[in-house]
Amino acid sequence: MYNPASDNVLLTRQFRLPVLLNGGLESLIEAPAGLLEGADPAERMRAELMEETGYKVFELTHLYDVYMSPGSVTEYLAFFYGEYAESDKVGAGGGSVAEGEDIDVLEVTLSKAMQMISCGDIRDAKTIILLQHLTIRLLQEKYTTLEF
């Protein structure tokens, strides 16, 4: 989620047991996400954004679908781009208590988020892909002669 007026992105921080058991960090900084559970991907993404961040998002653009580790898991991810404004905040966010979630909402500049990748604060692959995609997209808009 990107706020073009402030050049900020919305991220979350939450506990991930598999990462901790693997000797990693206690919590991961991630882009909001969730399991489809049979739902339409865009509808599910809107629900997850509201649940995790407290922001109501009206328009989402489907970017692409990816398999993160096709040799070991069947999970695929649907990636979306969406914009938000401060006025779109309608709830507290923080995740679902029923699902055992305790999520911190982070709002940082895109530049800071890219620095967080470089220094190892952001290690989640989907988040890195989305932030890099956004950076390339904004550069492409700025320098319209670039073609990817």
Residues belonging to the binding site for Mg(2+) are 33, 48, 52, 101
Burial class (CB in 10 A: 0-12, 13-18, 19+), 89: middle
Q: What element of type H or E holds 27?
A: strand 27-30
Binding-site residue positions: 33, 48, 52, 101
Task: State the Cα–Cα distance between residues 1 and 76, nearest whole angstrom.
Answer: 20
Phi, psi of 9 (to 5 degrees): -120, 150
Nearest of 5, 15, 6, 33 to residue 112 by alpha carbon: 6
Q: At CA 50, angle to CA 44 and CA 53, rounded to 5?
A: 125
Tally of CA atoms within 13 A in the half-sphere of 95 that contains its CB: 17
Tokens of 85: 């404004």
